[in-house]
Amino acid sequence: MLHEIAEATRGFLNLLDDGQRAVAVRSMSDDGLRTRWSYLPGRRPGLVYGDLTRDQRKGVHRLLSCVLSPHAYAQAAAVMALEDVLDDREGGRRDRNQGDFWTVLLGEPGDEPWGWRVEGHHLSVSVVVADGRVSATPLFLGAQPARTTYRGHTVLQPLRLEEELARELLDRMGRTARGLAVVSDTAPPDILTGNSPRVGDLEPAGVTPAQLDRESRGLLVGLVRYYLDRLHSDLADEEFDALDLERLHFAWQGSAKRGEGHYYRIQGPELLIEYDNTAYNANHAHAVWRRRSGDFGEDLLAAHRASVRHE
């Protein structure tokens, strides 16, 4: 996997001229840049997708597809395309465009460590490589409109399983467990961690695996696995094997009725998953997977710095 990521990154770099390289390539030692992320619209450091040539745009997509699983890459491509749909719905007043996504490189393959980020409205994929290991969180996907319909039938819903798998878990668990899982009748207006560079001390809430029956425990683990499977299988397997599944908490806030605002989160010692769909009549979804000590490669970089000091 690491070889494919490095090759895709070199391939993208080889498509850039000297001026583009100067804009695209920054230093991994710039911690402020590395951890400054956002899923909101706006300009970012790096090269903007809309100004790239056809081959360069394909190079950006190759970066995404070499890290994301096929289904998550399809979600990311749909999220980017939805910017034009949203712009049309808004009558163009905010001048949105699927070209408004930025790519920034933090060092280059051959440097140690190195990485990159592809980011724009409703998409943020951060990759850090150090000592042969890969970190790829936070991993954020959002969608507006979250669901496009025709006569009551869904035509497009990029984050459908993020909602449906959680609803199935909530529906299948018993009344007692559901009473523990639903911690509030009101959903927050957005994911609680927002664009924070750190997860922080978010109090675990809701129901634990020990309080669920066997089927519901399996559904909870399956929902977690679905988020981790946004990455290619070998990266996802490594992340999954590191989890303490018995210490998970699942919490739901807001309405359980379809079409009404709702939020859930799954927490473990290192894991945080948040999903929110409240704005625009619950047609604006955000979903993020984060690692408490590993976002932006913090754990990998700490281990790398320690090894360098002891050489």
pTM assigned to the model:
0.96
Mean local confidence (pLDDT), 75-85: 98
pLDDT at 311 (0 to 100): 52
Task: Dump pLDDT digits (tens) for 94-116.
Answer: 999 999 999 999 999 988 899 99
Give the strand pairing for 148-150 and 271-277.
unpaired
Percent of the chain with pLDDT over 90: 95
Residues 163-217: pLDDT tens digits? 999 999 999 999 999 999 999 999 999 999 999 999 988 999 999 999 999 999 9
122-168 pLDDT, tens digit per residue, is: 999 999 999 999 999 999 999 999 999 999 999 999 999 999 999 99
Distance from the Cα of residue 125 to its chain's centroid: 6
pLDDT tens digits, residue range 220-229? Answer: 999 999 999 9
Residue 306, pLDDT score: 87
Give the pLDDT confidence score for residue 2 in this predicted structure.
Answer: 83
